[in-house]
Structure 1
């Protein structure tokens, strides 16, 4: 039985059906749709993706065709782990009933953090997570003049560009002092912030939202922060996510934020309960600690592993580096592992190597500058993280460095890894070699 069906749940179901032919699979999902790619919301707002139906890669109908008991708009209200039973409510009819399972895969996902801000229930103060949110944002965008985005993570950052290119007046607000503080250091993202300002986006960083202003008719008219008030007739809250695991509080081991602890086979503290995706913690190879990293890539891997390990522990999770990428206007940016700021917060003794160069020889008809930043541990020389920024798409290099971190490689080893040379693509010393060569100690 599977509880929840976005990325982790969909992967778990499809793989269970494929691998365990004798399994009877049932899924309970609160929404009326599955597998929605929320990373495409900004693309739909911007008009790049015309049909939002393209943001789904599976459907309840497809699962039903595979023989899955597909229960949409059903909410699990209680779980008895000892008896292996669920209490379920049909959200359409209100009927409640019990169901039993042999193995349970919890893929209940996450929900946007809703901070306790005064007047947060005003009309046009919206969240951004699922298909319903996406449709509501597009609908309200049509008549909006001034938009405030609260939260400078990936979703907020992408929405800023989407609204600005639609001709809206945009204010970008976050408690931190920069864009994407969890994924990028200030010296990597500073060019993007300058570009925002050039395009008329108001950056209101280092400020906390205190209240939303009521226009007198129940609609939002502005945002009051700890340092200034800003006009807005549409507000999108994107201040992060928290795991939806209240059903299992006190029943399964969790991190303090409610993320379910799992081992390398996706098993929870209960032998017949697995968990995957945004509802649980994941091992970070860079920090060598368990943490909360709600990414779709982590979710599909974990869902796949839960299915593979249902009958016996056969396939281990290799951990994650939190590898991610983003395109902001014409800047291609990606990161993996720890930023310098995160390494500092963890108390690690680290150093950095920063390379700024053209990505291919200057004798070519054209080339583009890039910035590549490597973070590594001083004592062990182990690579901790990397970030790249360029108008040329060099983001696949971060996937290479993700593998390096996963395998515990040192900066000294990276300096002499065999990479090809071809003037169309790079220089005789690949830039991954070069950034590591800079970090070599003198002989």
Structure 2
């Protein structure tokens, strides 16, 4: 069996390693246009901020490791075109400019995503940078050293993490987003507002509800960001607007969402036989709504890559879908979320109710007992749990993984009230705060006082 793999990040590495182990006789060839593989891009802010000193720790594989598995890894090779009917790849060696063709029996597409770059006046000025791969992170570190004022465009996870890293490195920072608050896709206002408050206390300027319209520069370098509400002086701009799937190679050959994300079935096969896809180039089944959606996360990617390998010869292990579960640490805030927020549920025209609690995570007789705030979103009629968010100074984020399982298994808020959790004063109370949220949401029971004769 001749297997060709296009792209080698989270999903690609996972698919390659598992394919090599499951099918030792397979001939596996990997095509990667970069000079490195398996970079953990979610660690960029930690690297930029100096928390991670050795970037080698952000790579979890290498061409040498794949070679030991019998995999041929062709670095700095770009796929020019794919013919999924004839099963032919056209390849360019980026070092020699040589082009050649290769064939495959099975094709694994793990081409990932690329940052969204708006077509704006001045976008080509120097010191307007992207934040995605290892080379980007090194450029950001180099350019940030000489910058006094850094502007981050985009208040999602990556943008917010970079803002913290730059501020802690002594930079003046401005954060711009067209939404009226940060992290609006992941958190409801009462949660994102706590992070915004911390940003203001640290002197970070937030230009929320503003859309960038152009960039201005001097001597080829950016020095102003122009928005629909004003202008911001800056030395360096980092674009963190979002990502779009890298799927031009398969356009018109397989089914895709409107944004170009490849649609795969529960066994990771595209609409074309023997062509599989995984990771940020794909759509995923989003369990809270039952829809195929684009949710680029490393966790989704490694699961999907593993499943590609297990299903490559015959359907074996179906994909269970995702809740889009994620976590974040900003200053003293430990934050995690899963599924729908109250806002996103309403955007989906779902009738939902919510329950919010703030409770000490363990008994008050303990030396410390920090408060934790939890919000659970559930469907009004079915009472099925659809999402949850948590924030606290002490790390209680693993509780969101529990609620992710609840959503996965279509559990109700009423069942959450009585799930069996252990009690030990070091860790929690007799009623775990997850139980407490469920208890608070229980409907009242109508009781009638018996009449005794």
Give the TM-score, by structure 1 length: 0.99
**1:211 is matched with which residue?**
214
Other-structure match for 2:350: 348
| Alignment-derived partner of residue 287 in structure 1 | 289
Q: Of 311, 318, 328, which residue of structure 2 is paired with 1:309?
A: 311
Query: What corresponds to 1:55 in structure 2?
Result: 58
Q: Which residue of 2 aligns with 1:40?
A: 43
Partner of 2:111: 108
Displacement over 2 Å in runs of 4+: none
| Counterpart in the other structure of 2:161 | 158
- Is 2:325 aligned against 1:320? no
Query: Residue 225 of structure 1 corresponds to which residue in structure 2?
Result: 227
1:374 deviates by 0.2
The more displaced of 178-187 and 232-241 is 178-187
CA distance in 2, matches of 1:45, 1:21: 39
CA distance in structure 1 between the partners assigned to 2:154 and 2:110 by the alignment = 25
| Structure 1 runs not aligned, ≥5 long | none
1:206 Cα deviation (Å)? Answer: 0.6
TM-score by length of 2: 0.97
User: 3-state SS of the aligned residue for 2:414?
Assistant: helix
Q: Which residue of 1 aligns with 2:450?
A: none
Counterpart selection for 2:184 from 181, 184, 205: 181
Aligned partners of 1:364 and 1:247: how far apart in 2? 59
1:394-422: per-residue Cα shift (whole Å, max 9, x none)?
00000000000001101111110000111
Q: Is the 8 A contact 2:184 2:192 kept in 1?
A: no
Query: More deviation in 43-52 or 123-132?
Result: 43-52
Following the alignment from structure 1 to structure 2, what is the Cα–Cα distance between the partners of residues 180 and 30? 32
Residue in structure 2 matched with residue 238 of structure 1 by the alignment: 240
Distance 2:120 2:149 in 1: 20
Q: How far is 1:135 from its partner?
A: 0.5
Partner deviation per Cα, 1:101-145 (whole Å, 9 max, x = no partner): 000010000000001121011110000000010010000011010
Per-residue CA deviation, residues 138-166 of structure 1 (Å, 9 max, x unaligned), is 00011010000000111101000000000
Q: 1:126 aligns with which of 129, 135, 156?
A: 129
Whichever of the two has the greater Rg, that structure is 2
Give the superposed CA RMSD.
0.6
Match of 2:23 among 1, 20, 23: 20
Distance 1:29 1:238 in 2: 24
- 8 Å CA contact 2:14–2:305 kept in 1: the answer is yes
Give the SS at the match of 2:27.
coil
SS of structure 2 residue aligned to 1:438: helix
Matches within 5 A, 1:251-262: 251-262=253-264
Q: Report the Cα distance in structure 2 between the residues aligned to 1:133 and 1:169, rounded to whole angstroms.
A: 21
How many angstroms does 1:188 deviate by? 1.1
**How far does residue 392 in structure 1 lie from its aligned partner after superposition?**
0.5
2:448: which partner in 1? Answer: none
Q: CA deviation at 1:191?
A: 1.0
**1:191-248 deviations in Å (ceiling 9; x for gaps):** 1101100100001011100111212x00011211111211110000000000000111
> Are positions 1:440 and 2:442 aligned together?
yes
Unaligned runs of 5+ in 2: 446-453
Task: Write the mapping of 1:353-368 to structure 2, written as runs, cut at 5 A.
Answer: 353-368=355-370
Q: Deviations over 1:242-286 (max 9, x none)?
A: 000011111000000000000000010011100000000000111
Q: Determine helix, strand or coil for the equivalent of 1:27.
A: strand
CA distance in 2, matches of 1:169, 1:228: 18
Indicate the SS of the match to 2:285: strand
